[in-house]
Structure 1
């Protein structure tokens, strides 16, 4: 299965959610995610993020899970992305991967990794490297 690479834009809406008692004590924030992807990935997603912001400017981290529903290069279905990302004094490090065996429909068997870029001004874009079994 050859690896494919697609890129495109997306919008994201974050909304604060009530944190658990344990998260509040630990200084963690909780947000809901609502995304719309454009380009070869025509999809929407819903998910949840847990985050921490350091007192050091530019240092933070988050973990998130999101279910993506739509089409990828014309193949319809859904899959789940798992995020683990940090920002060290402004330098980002990302790990966003497709959860194994989470693909459904024509996206069954999907594997891959995504990176996110945020341009000055806040525009979001993705780069998605993936493999899919032949239909």
Structure 2
């Protein structure tokens, strides 16, 4: 299989937080759903369901999420699921976002890969998707 790289941007078009279902000693757990519109080598939309843990320290939090993408990857159409695992430790951030194995459909069947997400100071989101197909 040949490794490929797709790049572009995405917009968060809807952010819907639920009230925390756990709130004790300054630590909260809450559910957030959001929609994205993808531009560049990935074009399409996605729906994300995110579980967020916030702490009393402003830049220390984490989230896990599942995201269902529908659209095209460099012209091939289909859908796939991405699993996110992210931590901010006093501002030091790590994120692993990878395609759930065997979740891809259509012309994307067999897709594997990881997505790196960057957030610019102005809040703009960009991605680099290293994948095999």
Q: TM over 0.5, yes or no?
A: yes
Cα deviation for residue 17 of structure 1 reads 2.6
TM-score (norm 1): 0.91
Between structures 1 and 2, the one with greater strand share: 2
Give SS of 2:40's match. Answer: coil
Between structures 1 and 2, the one with greater helix share: 1
TM-score (norm 2): 0.92
Question: How many residue pairs get matched?
Answer: 129
Distance, in Å, in 2 between the alignment partners of 1:68 and 1:47 is 9
Structure 1 equivalent of residue 7 of structure 2? 7
Give runs of aligned pairs for residues 1-135 of structure 1, distance below 5 A.
Answer: 1-12=1-12, 13-18=14-19, 23-24=21-22, 27-132=28-133
Residue by residue, what CA displacement relative to the aligned partner does 1:9-41 show, whole Å, maximum 9, x if unpaired? 10013211355xxx4256201110100010010
The runs of 4+ residues in structure 1 deviating greater than 4 Å are none
Where does the alignment leave 5 or more consecutive residues of structure 2 unmatched? none
* More deviation, 25-34/6-15: 25-34
Where does the alignment leave 5 or more consecutive residues of structure 1 unmatched? none
